[in-house]
Amino acid sequence: MAGIGAEIVAAPPRRRDGGEQEQQRRRLSGLGERDLAALALSAVSAFAIAWLFLTVVLGNSSWVETAILTYPLFLATYWFVSREMDGPLLAGDRVMAALVASAAIAMAVPLLLIMTYLVYKGLAGLTPHFFTQTQQYVGPLSPATAGGASQAIVGTLEMVGLAVVMSVPLGFICAVFLNEIGGPLRRPVRIFVDAMSGVPTILAGLFIYAVWVINFGFSGFAAALAISISMLPIVTRTSEEMLRLVPQGLREASLAMGASEWRTTWNVVMPTARSGLITAIILGVARAVGETAPLIMTAFGNTLMNANPFSGAQAGLPLYIYSQIRESSAANIQDRAWAGALVLMLVVLGLFATARLTSRLSGRAAYARAAEAAVTPTMPSGGNDE
């Protein structure tokens, strides 16, 4: 306690030469050299102790165990070091800051690991004919590079395309209702949209199976129906957020000029939010492309090309990956799955980057809101909620 108190009391600027010289500007935030040194040395010593204990004393260590032991040791060391330097009050604050920051860094680790592993495993099976051939002449012993997944790529494109055609207009209509019309039904509809976004995608598949497939058989269209059920709430939420960003003054100006409500929405609100609405579509598509579970019970999968989404079983890229992984643990078959996974990931990343670019047009804030709305229920923070 004495340490910190003393430091604050001793704070008045020291003036050399009777205050003639300018005083040095104090840094209020950020880490100084002293803090960085304390951090780094605590980390090194914690690692050294953990390594010594696990490798020398116990004689066996994997990097997981070392990391798990290092971390608490690091926090403890850092606390002791900070306490020696600045007293217990600041030490507690520093340790919490380190804990919070390391959690944030930990978020980035799986992303990097997944990406690098996908590239490392997927590149081998990725050949030009992956995009042009099917699995027609591929047997269990064929090498990983034999044939391709063009039937799955075509299937996914068609399913997602059909799903977009169905879910995007509906999502926009819902969003317009929530943001422009409102009324007593707004609250319940919001809750339904939230509830719908929580429906597991496999149940969307089961539902479409029960309604459609039992009567009309497996088809890409049935898959598109299931995908649009899981896409609808994402598009609705995201585009609602985007419509909220349209300034109220524009609407009022339009209405004051004598435009009717639907004219105002169609000719003023929607064009103003255009790039945001495009972001909403892209985020919905990014989610839809990776949908696997509903495809099992709607599209069923196919090793041959079926370009007609309205009849017969169709392949989809996620389903292709899943069935290859499931089929066998043989390396040649699994490498095909990894190639497919790499393509899928690249598609998702491409869509993601496009969403970012289009929403740049409507500002960073808009993008942040869109990405947020795709995963979270809308908060009562916007302008005209209730």
**Binders of other proteins among 30-69, rule CB under 8 A?**
30, 62-65, 68
Q: Among the candidate windows 18-26, 140-148, 244-252, 364-372, which touches other proteins by CB under 8 A?
A: 364-372
CB of 249 to other proteins, least distance (A): 19
Which residue in 36, 165, 173, 331 binds other proteins (CB under 8 A)? 173
Candidates 72-80, 216-224, 243-251, 282-290: pick the segment binding other proteins (CB under 8 A). Answer: 282-290
Nearer to other proteins, 18 or 32 (CB): 32
- Length of the chain, please? 386
Residue 177 in contact with other proteins, rule: CB under 8 A: yes
Member of 85, 194, 303, 357 binding other proteins (CB under 8 A):
194
If we measure between CA atoms, which residue out of 273, 197, 277 comes closest to residue 232? 197
Burial of 357 (0-12, 13-18, 19+ CB in 10 A): middle
> Which among 176, 196, 195 is positioned nearest to 186, based on CA atoms?
176
CB of 305 to other proteins, least distance (A): 21
**In 310-372, beta strands by DSSP E:** none
Using the contact rule CB under 8 A, the part of the chain among 35-43, 44-52, 184-192, 272-280 near other proteins is 184-192
Q: Does 198 bind other proteins (CB under 8 A)?
A: yes
| Amino acid residing at 124 | A
Judged by CB under 8 A, does residue 287 bind other proteins? Answer: yes
Residue 278 engages other proteins in binding (rule: CB under 8 A): no
**Residue placing its CB nearer to other proteins in the complex, 138 or 319:** 319
- The per-type count for the chain, helices as H runs and strands as E runs, is 17, 0
Q: Is 255 in the site for other proteins (CB under 8 A)?
A: no
Task: Give the separation between CA 308 and CA 305, rounded to whole angstroms.
Answer: 9
Determine the Cα–Cα distance for residues 254 and 271; give it in Å rounded to an integer.
13
Q: Which is nearer to other proteins, 163 or 374 (CB)?
A: 374
The dihedrals phi and psi of 199, each to the nearest 5 degrees, come to -70, 120
Which of 108, 139, 215, 256 contacts other proteins by CB under 8 A? Answer: 108
Contact 237, 178 (CB under 8 A): no
Residues of span 203-232 touching other proteins by CB under 8 A: 203-204, 206-207, 210-211, 229, 232
- Please tell me the number of Cα atoms within 13 Å of 208 on its side-chain side: 26
Q: Which is nearer to other proteins, 110 or 128 (CB)?
A: 110
Site for other proteins contains 126 (CB under 8 A): no
Q: In whole angstroms, give the CA distance from residue 60 to residue 315.
A: 47
Residue 113 makes contact with other proteins by CB under 8 A: yes
Q: Is 246 in contact with 271 (CB distance < 8 Å)?
A: no
* H-only helix segments in the chain: 2-9, 33-51, 63-86, 88-125, 150-176, 186-197, 201-208, 214-216, 220-244, 248-256, 261-263, 270-272, 274-289, 293-298, 317-327, 331-360, 364-375
| Cβ neighbours around 38 below 10 Å, total | 20
DSSP-based three-state secondary structure for 364: helix
List binders of other proteins among 68-87 (CB under 8 A): 68
**Phi, psi (degrees; rounded to nearest 5) at 300:** 75, -35
What's the rounded Cα separation, in Å, for the pair 31 and 113? 29
Question: Would you give the DSSP letter of residue 376?
Answer: S
For the CB of residue 19, give the shortest distance to other proteins in the complex, in Å: 28
Q: Which of 44, 262, 267, 308 binds other proteins (CB under 8 A)?
A: 262
Q: How far is the CB of 21 from other proteins (least distance, A)?
A: 31
Q: Which part of the chain contacts other proteins (CB under 8 A), choosing from 44-52, 75-83, 135-143, 187-195?
A: 187-195
* Closest CB 281 distance from other proteins, rounded Å: 14
- Applying CB under 8 A, among 158, 180, 241, 335 the residue interacting with other proteins is 180
- For residues 14-33, which are near other proteins according to CB under 8 A? 30
Q: Which is nearer to other proteins, 35 or 194 (by Cβ)?
A: 194
Residue whose C-alpha is closest to residue 54's, from 64, 44, 65, 39? 65
